[in-house]
Amino acid sequence: MPTGPSLETIRAAHERIRPHIHRTPVFTSRSLDELAGANLFFKCENLQKTGSFKIRGATNAVFSLNDEEARRGVVTHSSGNHAAALAHAARARGIPAWIVMPANSPMAKRKAVERYGGQITLCEPTLAARETAARDLIERTGAVMIHPYNDERVIAGQATAAVELLDQAPDLDFVLAPVSGGGLLSGTAIAAKCLRPQIRVVGCEPANADDAFRSLQAGRILPPEKTDTMADGLRATLCELTFAILRERVDEIALVSEEGIVEAMRSLWERLKLVVEASGAVPAAPAFERRIGAHSAAGRMAGSGQAEGKRVGIILSGGNLDLANLPFK
Amino acid sequence: MPTGPSLETIRAAHERIRPHIHRTPVFTSRSLDELAGANLFFKCENLQKTGSFKIRGATNAVFSLNDEEARRGVVTHSSGNHAAALAHAARARGIPAWIVMPANSPMAKRKAVERYGGQITLCEPTLAARETAARDLIERTGAVMIHPYNDERVIAGQATAAVELLDQAPDLDFVLAPVSGGGLLSGTAIAAKCLRPQIRVVGCEPANADDAFRSLQAGRILPPEKTDTMADGLRATLCELTFAILRERVDEIALVSEEGIVEAMRSLWERLKLVVEASGAVPAAPAFERRIGAHSAAGRMAGSGQAEGKRVGIILSGGNLDLANLPFK
């Protein structure tokens, strides 16, 4: 039996979260199609409530709790969008959310957590410090941990973006999503392959934080060698759950340079007039650079063929960033 | 009989241009509603083809020409969005477009004209130099001048944005649009007052280029005293045609500070995740600052009442700007 939530579970998640999320629009652009040599369909999760897809998984997790669990509240550690999403979801259910954030999180993301009523605990920017702070909170409050991706309820929620995309843009040949901890890509891969088995699923990752690429090549989870990417949402690593799902369902990991991220952001801002954060622009880069399929020969990932003339769905995962610190020169 | 195109003419323009333009979406935001204390409906002309509403008027003018006129091509002088729009409209009809642009036009706007096949003549950044260069082109080519706003066909085209807005967001109490030469505001006022006579029409203008405000107070067109605003699309002055329409139909001119423009842009970018140029953000500023109606006591413009709790349509007129030169700090 395949790993992760089933399509039935994903459909139930969609019904559960529908009152609390936007069905985000799908944008197209003739000039970006010319750039890519393909027909691109941009799923605008930057226009989602809280500014990212993360509200889908967080809301499904929060509304899946029974009343007794929910009463004690929820806790998580996150550098950003999952934090705001969990705060929003908790407020929607009327329960408290405790959020552990590294002290170097972007100010825009901290403000968002506060706006939705989340209670922030700042910590050192290391995984160990985050986990310790979260454990302390759980001991003190009895709150339930909602991990940003190591959670089938979260993955089922994230999968609903692809369910909508395939409905809004039928007959896609490819679907591209960013990969970090693997929650969005896992959900995307399960939903897309269930609904359209012939679709090619491409995870997109900064070359400067390429642990998913290397892990899938090696056949085991490798620790990150580096995470010095401007895509601050893509510095996490796979867990056993997401690793197993990606091994089964993902056809290719495309690596993206830092320059490629800036160029993709610029093209999206200039042509679509959309504010997309660096992490959210990552899956657009391989399409704009006509490199889908280019990584397939390098290792274990099966060749997915070129995307020329094909229909390509791209999940623009978020739009939260500090306007005072933009990469355009 | 009232000045300017009738609703029937506007509806005919809408039919004429429909195959060539987007019906742009209307965005809403709970957090911006809280900021404004009103229900805001943003008509996203920044998502329009060529990145601004100008394609509506230009396309209507170009497709209103008879075949013999059209064959010789069209010419205009414009610092930006009308230029790109006319180039796009001419290409759609398969005729040449000669565009006179001041040499200090934003690079993004020059590139857009080139992308749509317009042939650019650069000139000194004065009205006299622009008019001379355009006259030379007309003598040389026999092309037809399409003025950016002193043209009923153009005004009828611009009016179609408000027609769509009132269909997408019924029962509006106010509609806000920027004013420069007055083409968009004239069309907006005619369409809005015909379709919904009780609506209040508010023109929004940079305080640093306040000639429309002063002219309407004085009862005659006054020359600009200054045009040192970051809203580079709002430096033109009214003509007799637009002045007459605005006198008849506009309830209020709201002036906007340069700081107010930056703050409005920032709020639109952060909350709606939309790239809006300075000129396009101008009509959002008085709503965010809860100043609609505030100018009514100052002079000839009739009091329009406060907008608190009301339904307010805002035309975000464009999204073209140089990303390398953004005002956010």
Class of domain A7-53+152-325: alpha beta
Q: Which of A44, A273, A316, A322 to mutate to test the interface with B (most CBs of B within 10 A)?
A: A273
Which among A115, A273, A329 has CB closest to B324? A329
CA dihedral (B130, B134, B140, B144) in degrees, to 10, reads: 180
DSSP character at residue B325: G
Q: What percent of chain A has pLDDT over 70?
A: 96
**φ, ψ for residue A74, nearest 5 deg:** -130, 155
Q: Are A312 and A28 in contact (CB under 8 A)?
A: no
Tokens of A263: 């160029």
pLDDT digits (tens, 9 = 90+) for B212-229: 999 999 999 999 888 899
Which among A25, A31, A326 has CB closest to B326? A326
User: Cα separation of A105 and A82, whole Å?
Assistant: 12
Q: What is the mean pLDDT of residues A233-239?
A: 91
Tokens of B306: 């406060």
pLDDT of residue B300: 42
Q: Taking Cα atoms as reference points, which of A284, A18, A302, A281 lies closest to residue A163?
A: A18
User: Cα separation of A77 and A132, whole Å?
Assistant: 10
CB contact under 8 A, A273 and B46: yes
- Residue B76 in this model has a pLDDT that exceeds 50: yes
Report how far apart the first and last C-alpha atoms of chain B are (Å, whole number).
50
CB contact under 8 A, A275 and B275: yes
Q: Are A203 and A212 in contact (CB under 8 A)?
A: yes
Which among A269, A276, A323 has CB closest to B328? A323
Mean pLDDT of chain B: 93
Residue type, B117: G
pLDDT digits (tens, 9 = 90+) for A147-164: 999 999 999 999 999 999
DSSP character at residue A303: P
**Longest CA–CA separation in chain A, Å:** 56
Kindly report the CA angle at A278 between A186 and A50, in degrees rounded to 5? Answer: 70
pLDDT digits (tens, 9 = 90+) for A249-262: 999 999 999 999 99
pLDDT digits (tens, 9 = 90+) for A133-143: 999 999 999 99
pLDDT of residue A227: 86
pLDDT digits (tens, 9 = 90+) for A262-299: 999 999 999 999 999 999 999 999 999 999 976 543 44
How does residue B112 score in pLDDT terms, banded at 50, 70 and 90? confident
A189 CB-side CA count, 13 A: 26
Domain limits, CATH 3.40.50.1100, in chain A: 7-53+152-325, 55-145
User: Cα separation of A156 and A154, whole Å?
Assistant: 5
Q: What is the CATH number of domain B7-52+152-325?
A: 3.40.50.1100
DSSP character at residue A170: -
CB contact under 8 A, B273 and A47: yes
Which among A270, A323, A329 has CB closest to B270? A323
User: Cα separation of B45 and B277, whole Å?
Assistant: 11
User: Cα separation of B142 and B22, whole Å?
Assistant: 31
Class of domain A55-145: alpha beta
User: Cα separation of B78 and B100, whole Å?
Assistant: 6
Contacts of A324 in chain B (CB under 8 A): 328-329
Tokens of B21: 């333009």
Mean pLDDT of chain A: 93
Tokens of B178: 């920027």
Edge-to-edge strand ranges of the sheet holding A311-316: A26-27, A39-44, A311-316, A174-178, A200-206, A252-256
User: Cα separation of B86 and B100, whole Å?
Assistant: 11
Q: What is the mean pLDDT of residues B15-44?
A: 97
Contacts of A276 in chain B (CB under 8 A): 273
How does residue A300 score in pLDDT terms, banded at 50, 70 and 90? very low
Q: Taking Cα atoms as reference points, which of A52, A34, A8 lies closest to residue A194?
A: A8
User: Cα separation of A151 and A69, whole Å?
Assistant: 16
Query: Shortest Cα distance from B135 to chain A (angstroms)?
Result: 33
Domain limits, CATH 3.40.50.1100, in chain B: 7-52+152-325, 55-145
pLDDT of residue B294: 60
Tokens of B57: 């008027």
User: Cα separation of B82 and A69, whole Å?
Assistant: 59
pLDDT of residue A109: 80
- Rg of chain B over Cα atoms, rounded to whole angstroms, equals 18
Q: Per mean pLDDT, which range of A7-16, B45-54, B97-106 is the poorest?
A: B97-106
User: Cα separation of B62 and B154, whole Å?
Assistant: 9
CA dihedral for B108, B113, B114, B115, sign (positive or negative) = positive
Contacts of residue B120, defined as CB under 8 A and 6 or more positions apart, other chains included, come to B83, B99, B100, B101, B110, B113, B114
CB contact under 8 A, B275 and A266: no
How does residue B2 score in pLDDT terms, banded at 50, 70 and 90? confident
Q: Is A308 exposed, middle or buried (0-12, 13-18, 19+ CB in 10 A)?
A: exposed
Enumerate the β-bridge partners of residue B97: B74
Q: Of B169 and A226, which is predicted with more confidence?
A: B169
pLDDT of residue B1: 78
Cα A157 off chain centre by: 11
pLDDT of residue A294: 60
pLDDT digits (tens, 9 = 90+) for B293-320: 765 434 444 444 589 999 999 999 999 9
pLDDT of residue B304: 46
